[in-house]
Chains A and B, each alone.
Chain A
Amino acid sequence: MTQDQATEPLKVVQESGASPVADEDPAMRHILRREMHSSRAAAAGIAAALVMIVCAYVLLEAGVRAIGQPPWLIDFGTAAERIIALPDGISPLLLGAGGAVVAMVGVFFLLQALLPGRRARHLLRDRRAAVVVDDEVLASALARRARTAANVTREQVMVVVSRQLVVVNVRPTSGSAVSEETVLAAVRAELEEMSPVPMPDVRVNLATSGVIGA
């Protein structure tokens, strides 16, 4: 599998247009949409485990009762009486705190169900494959470009990539000027080359204080 073999079909594909494969094929588009969102598998696992623990306990007590043995922790009748009497028999602080914890767990699951769960990823246009890139990879590539444009070291550049915005923070070396336009143009050019979907905006922040001896 060398690259020489790939050159021939490559030309053919290029003639038919360089638009992203992902947008042509509905199945691939579906896969990409799934890749851009969280599957909620982790929350599903936690929820299933919680429900299973509760059910297992109820089953244990029911089984113990069915064969006429004494209850393990609490008898159903006693439990029901205690629950009916609820604000009594337990300190209100404990009850309130316990209720708050249970409500928080419920809110967590509800938010997991309702929020879009967008992942910090962008799509790239490509001839052959559907390409998904983590935003951190984009950030490190842009940081490299910004670093060479600003002529500073790695530690002086920090890039944050979000869905719609790229923020480039540069701390110039003390005594040498860094042109904001140069950095902006370089990062923009790199971003144009990558052409991620959705295309974010670029903002450059030059720190007012410089780094000494970098």
Chain B
Amino acid sequence: MNGTPRALNRVLLFIIGAVFLAIGVLLVLLASVPSVASWWHGWSAGVWGSAEGAFEQTRLPGRQESWLWIVAALVVIAIIVAMIAWLSQQGKGKANFLVSGEDDGDVEGLVTIGGGVAEQALRAALADRPDLAGASVATYEFKGQPGLRVRIQPRQGVAPHLLATEVSQLLEALDLVIGKKTPVLLHIVSGARAKFTRAERVR
């Protein structure tokens, strides 16, 4: 439930993939089909010629170099910055507060409840269970609303629906404590730790 920009990921992957595919196919065709090679000679020479003409016309006054190089460098820098911005969007959305707002009571002021309250309470409640190999709780903000992501790793053979019901009871107790119903995503995962430890027999 993080804020990874999925549509953007797919669009950019499509563009980058299409470019790579086109270059690769062109190289393969150049290596294998002679007629493509002759077309390529004419076409690419024409493109390079016009580019050189553009460079000739855009010389910096008093120097050999063209200012088009500076423009090209700026474009490349912009692309690099955009890529870094794109990467930084992956998996964002960690939140600090579970509740943050004004209290209806007589006293003026803001009430904030940190995500750590729910995280530690749930983690402590789940820590000693023999049927779990691991549990983690994190607070995320999704579309401006805080929510909890609970990840539990049951041992082999534990029925997931019973586990979900029991965690739900914990969550309802937590709702009472916090006084607000937070959206919760419960993810029951399997992992190496669950696979290689003993199966839960007594349950």
CA distance A128 to B51 in the complex (A): 64
Interface string of B143-177 (1 = CB under 8 A from A): 10101001000101111110011011111111111
Whether B1 sits at the interface, judged by CB under 8 Å, is: yes
Is B90's CB under 8 angstroms from A44's CB?
yes
Q: Nearest CB to that of A87 among chain B residues?
A: B37
Count class of interface residues, chain A = 35 or more
Is A198 in contact with chain B by the CB < 8 A criterion?
no
How far does the Cβ of B181 sit from chain A's closest Cβ, in whole Å?
Answer: 8
Interfacial chain A residues near B111, Cβ < 8 Å? none
Q: Evaluate contact between B90 and A45: CB separation under 8 angstroms.
A: yes
Q: How long is the Cα–Cα vector from A175 to B157 in the complex, in angstroms?
A: 26
A126–B4 contact, CB under 8 A?
Answer: no
Contact B169 A6 (CB under 8 A): yes
- What chain B residues lie within 8 Å of A103 (beta carbons)? 20-21, 23-25, 27-28
The answer to the question of B110 belonging to the interface, with a C-beta cut-off of 8 Å to chain A, is: no
Judged by a CB distance under 8 angstroms, whether B127 is at the interface is no
B22: chain A residues within 8 A (beta carbon)? 106
Q: Is the CB of A194 within 8 A of B160?
A: yes
Tell me, rounded to whole Å, the shortest Cβ–Cβ distance linking B66 to chain A: 10
- In the assembled complex, the CB of A127 is this many whole angstroms from the nearest CB of chain B, namely 6
Residue of A with least CB distance to B175: A9
* B63–chain A nearest beta-carbon distance, Å: 9
Give the CA-CA distance A25 to B11 in the complex, in Å: 28
Q: Closest CB of chain A to B80's CB: distance in Å?
A: 5
**Interface of A toward B, CB cutoff 8 Å:** 1-3, 5-6, 9-10, 13, 25, 27-28, 30-32, 34-35, 37, 39-41, 43-45, 47-48, 50-52, 55-56, 58-59, 62-63, 65-66, 68, 80-81, 83-87, 92-93, 95-96, 98-114, 124, 126-134, 136-138, 140-141, 143-144, 154, 190, 193-195
